[in-house]
Amino acid sequence: MATWKFKNPANNYIEEVDTVTSFFGGLILGPIYFIIKGAWAAAFIAFIVGTVLVASMVGIIALPFLWLACGFMGPGIVKNNYLKRGWVDITAPSEQPQSSLSDAHRRYKELQDMKNTGKLNSAEFEEAKARLVAETGHPLNDSKPQTALQIPAAPQDLVSRLSELDSLRKSGVLTDEEFSAAKAKLIAS
For residue 164, give its domain range: 98-188
Rg, the chain, Cα only: 20
- CA neighbor of 53 nearest in space, from 68, 41, 40, 39: 68
85 and 20 within one domain: yes
DSSP alpha helix (H) spans, 18-157: 19-29, 31-36, 40-55, 59-84, 101-116, 122-136
pTM for the model: 0.46
Domain boundary among 22, 57, 89: 89
Q: How many domains does the chain have?
A: 2
Domain boundary among 89, 115, 142: 89
**For residue range 78-119, what is the model confidence (pLDDT) as tens digits?**
888 888 888 888 876 544 444 445 666 777 788 888 888 888
**For residue range 14-70, what is the model confidence (pLDDT) as tens digits?**
888 888 888 888 888 888 888 988 888 888 988 888 888 777 777 677 778 888 888
Q: How many CB atoms sit inside 10 A of residue 102's CB?
A: 13
SS3 30: coil
How many angstroms separate the Cα of 1 from the Cα of each of 17, 30, 49, 111, 157?
11, 20, 29, 31, 23
37 and 106 within one domain: no
78 and 28 within one domain: yes
**For residue range 117-134, what is the model confidence (pLDDT) as tens digits?**
888 888 888 888 878 777
126 and 46 within one domain: no
Are 161 and 97 in contact by the 8 Å Cβ rule? The answer is no
